[in-house]
Amino acid sequence: MIRIGIIDDEKEARKRLREEIAKFETKYQMEFEVCEFESAASYLAKATDVYDILYLDIDMPQMTGMELAEKIRETDSEVIIIFCTNFQQFAVNGYSVSALGFMVKPVQWYSFHMYLDRALKALKKRGGRLEDEAGRRVIVKDGAVSRVVCTVDIKYVEVRQHYLLYHMWEEAVGRETVLKLRGTMQEAADLLSPYGFVRCSASFLVNLSRMNIHIGQEILPIGRAYKDSFTETFSKYLAKREWEDPCQS
């Protein structure tokens, strides 16, 4: 389910956005999970929560919506940000935080519909997060920094001494990276097992959606339509061979 966050210090403005979201849900027979926050601080206090779309008011006390967006972008480059404001002159600043757009208060159906439709198309284009991959993002601590990562980008997790190594493939830059943090394999399994990760040994947790067949130096992908039948046949093969985990020594 798509998760939407509304951060605005004005109760009436949050109510107006809620009404527009409900109208969109009814019109297109969709359902969103929506959470409201009355300040940037209240949103940041829920740092472990992950959202797909954020509606940010710009003119808020203590921390403005623009300042909040800059802080969000330090750890999350993917969440879609849409500003709601009375000040159109701030629109140019939105480019620095890759905002999808600006809506002038009071929010009107036309602009709301246009930007939400664009946001949903952007989510779908990224890799199917609208449907069976919706919301597949988790918080992973990389040293002192908490990062939001998409689970489909995690190839596998390795435990080495007292550290977890998240082996990632960053599609945007076309390279592999490794996030290192202290933790146990059980902690990683508890976090990622709902997203199709399984332990293949005491030291490795693998992403089944990234399974391939290695034959010599060749790597063959497993097509989605064939994954179930291949997995079933391969499991029977391993059972007949009385296969043992080579990592258990």
Percent of the chain with pLDDT over 70: 79
Q: How far apart are alpha carbons 76 and 148 in whole angstroms? A: 5
- Res. 53 pLDDT band, cuts 50 70 90: very high
What pLDDT sits at residue 179?
A: 86
Cβ 148 vs Cβ 78: under 8 Å: yes
Taking alpha carbons only, the member of 63, 125, 127 closest to residue 100 is 125
Q: Sign of dihedral through CA atoms 43, 46, 48, 50?
A: negative
Cβ(84)–Cβ(107) under 8 Å? yes
What is the per-residue pLDDT for 157?
Answer: 93
Which tens digit of pLDDT belongs to each residue from 108-121? Answer: 999 999 999 999 98
127 confidence band (pLDDT: 50, 70, 90): low
C-alpha span between 110 and 186 (Å, rounded): 48
Residue 248: what pLDDT? 46
- Which residue type, as a one-letter code, is found at position 176? E
> Residue 144 — pLDDT band, cuts 50, 70, 90?
low
Q: What is the pTM of this model?
A: 0.58
Q: Is the pLDDT of residue 18 over 50?
A: yes
Whether pLDDT at 16 is above 90: yes
Distance CA 145, CA 53 (A): 22
pLDDT tens digits, residue range 24-41? 999 988 899 999 999 999
Q: Confidence class of residue 1 from pLDDT cuts 50, 70 and 90?
A: confident
Token pair in block for residue 62: 């203590």
Using the predicted structure, report yes or no on whether residue 129 has a pLDDT greater than 50.
Answer: no
Helices (H), 11-150: 11-28, 40-44, 65-73, 109-127
DSSP code of 135?
A: T
Averaged pLDDT of the chain: 81
Which tens digits make up the pLDDT trace of 55-108? 999 889 999 999 999 999 888 888 999 999 876 665 556 667 888 888 989 999
Count of alpha carbons within 13 angstroms of residue 32, beta-carbon side: 27
Mean pLDDT across 146-168: 86
Name the residue among 61, 102, 109, 100 with its Cα closest to residue 84.
102
